[in-house]
């Protein structure tokens, strides 16, 4: 299983987000060049939608593929009440504790031609926060993801995927203060 929230941020504030994340986690960002193919089944006749994602790491000398299956979201009254989506996930590679991915969504006109890709939402990046969980520990992971999101709240609002919330009004001020003090101030 995994816990997931999503949000959006203006491209001009991504550097401030990096500074904040580096201050919170003490690790530097990793630059990735991944071509992701997503095969999605639509919900139909009571079956939940599911996805198979094929991720090809283009940074490796030989293309390295990872297969990730994303199943249905946890349902029921309890699931409605929590602010984080919990869904089944199986991956051929183990994930890190909390992963923050900032992506620009592009249309690709040719296979692997990432340099010629055309942005779908110019000036806006998608931010996704995920953390691996199990049926035993997901409440703990949900709490960890929720409190992590609070640290990011001045810069971006994170919610369950599919709940569109837009950019936060405090982003410019928060970014300016992060850029001026290099992330030294605890938010
Ligand atoms: C919860 O379980 C998953 C899967 O076993 C594991 O990867 C993760 O580290 C665990 N998280 C916590 C906070 O115990």
Please give the mean pLDDT across all residues of the chain: 88
Classify residue 187: in a domain, yes or no.
Answer: no
Classify residue 53: in a domain, yes or no.
Answer: yes
> The domain that contains 12 carries what CATH number?
2.40.320
Classify residue 12: in a domain, yes or no.
Answer: yes
- Residue 139: the pLDDT is 94
3-state secondary structure labels for all residues of the chain: CEEEEEEEEEHHHHHHHHHHHHHHHCCCCCCCCEEEEEEEECCECCECCEEEEEEEECCCCCCEEEEEEEEEECCCHHHHHCCCEEEEEEECCCCCCCEEEEECCEECCCCCCHHHCEECCCCEEEEEEEEECCCCCHHHHHHHHHHHHHHHCCCCCCECCCCCCCCCCCHHHHHHHHHHHCCCCCC
pLDDT tens string 81-91: 999 999 999 98
Residue 179 confidence (pLDDT) above 60 = yes
Pocket perturbation via mutation, ligand 1, pick of 132, 138, 139 by most ligand atoms within 8 A of CB: 132
- Residue 185: the pLDDT is 52
Pocket perturbation via mutation, ligand 1, pick of 141, 146, 147, 148 by most ligand atoms within 8 A of CB: 141
Share of residues in the chain with pLDDT > 90 (%) = 57
Share of residues in the chain with pLDDT > 70 (%) = 96
- Burial of residue 17 (number of CB atoms within 10 Å: 0-12, 13-18, 19+): buried
- Residue 72: the pLDDT is 87
Kindly state if the Cβ of 99 falls inside 6 Å of ligand 1.
no
Kindly state if the Cβ of 95 falls inside 6 Å of ligand 1.
no
> In which band, very low, low, confident or very high, does the pLDDT at 116 lie, cut at 50, 70 and 90?
confident
Kindly state if the Cβ of 86 falls inside 6 Å of ligand 1.
no
CB-based contacts of 117: which residues, under 8 Å, 6+ apart? 106, 107, 108, 109
Residue 186 confidence (pLDDT) above 60 = no
- Which neighbouring-strand residues pair with 131? 3
Residue 123 confidence (pLDDT) above 80 = yes
| More reliable by pLDDT, 55 or 35 | 55
Classify residue 65: in a domain, yes or no.
Answer: yes
| More reliable by pLDDT, 43 or 137 | 137
- Rg (Cα) of the chain, in Å, rounded? 17
Classify residue 163: in a domain, yes or no.
Answer: yes
Residue 158 confidence (pLDDT) above 60 = yes
Query: Whose CA is closest to atom 13 on ligand 1?
Result: 141
CB neighbours (10 Å) of residue 186? Answer: 7
Query: Whose CA is closest to atom 3 on ligand 1?
Result: 133
Structurally, the chain folds into a number of domains equal to: 1
Kindly state if the Cβ of 141 falls inside 6 Å of ligand 1.
yes
Looking up tokens 């709240």, which residue turns up? 153
Task: Residue count of the chain, please give it.
Answer: 187
Residue 35 confidence (pLDDT) above 70 = yes
Ligand 1 atom nearest the C-alpha of 1 is 4
Domain around 45: 2-182
Residue 117 confidence (pLDDT) above 70 = yes
Residue 128 confidence (pLDDT) above 90 = yes
Q: Are 33 and 58 in contact (CB under 8 A)?
A: yes
């Amino acid at each position: 299983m995994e816990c997931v929230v999503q949000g959006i941020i203006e491209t001009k504030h991504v550097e401030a987000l990096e500074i904040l994340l580096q201050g919170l986690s003490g690790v530097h960002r990793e630059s990735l060049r991944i071509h992701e193919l997503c095969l999605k089944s639509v919900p139909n006749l009571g079956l939940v939608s599911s996805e198979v994602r094929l991720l090809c790491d283009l940074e490796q000398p030989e293309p390295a593929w990872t297969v990730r299956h994303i199943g249905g979201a946890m349902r029921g009254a309890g699931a409605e009440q929590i602010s984080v989506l919990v869904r089944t996930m199986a991956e051929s590679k183990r994930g890190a504790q909390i992963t923050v991915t900032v992506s620009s969504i592009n249309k690709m006109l040719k296979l692997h031609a990432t340099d010629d890709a055309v942005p779908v939402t110019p000036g806006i990046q998608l931010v996704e926060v995920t953390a691996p969980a199990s049926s035993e520990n997901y409440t703990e992971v949900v709490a960890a993801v929720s409190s992590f999101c609070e640290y990011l709240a001045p810069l971006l609002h994170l919610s369950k995927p599919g709940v569109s919330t837009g950019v936060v009004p405090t982003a410019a001020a928060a970014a300016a203060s992060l850029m001026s003090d290099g992330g030294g101030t605890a938010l």
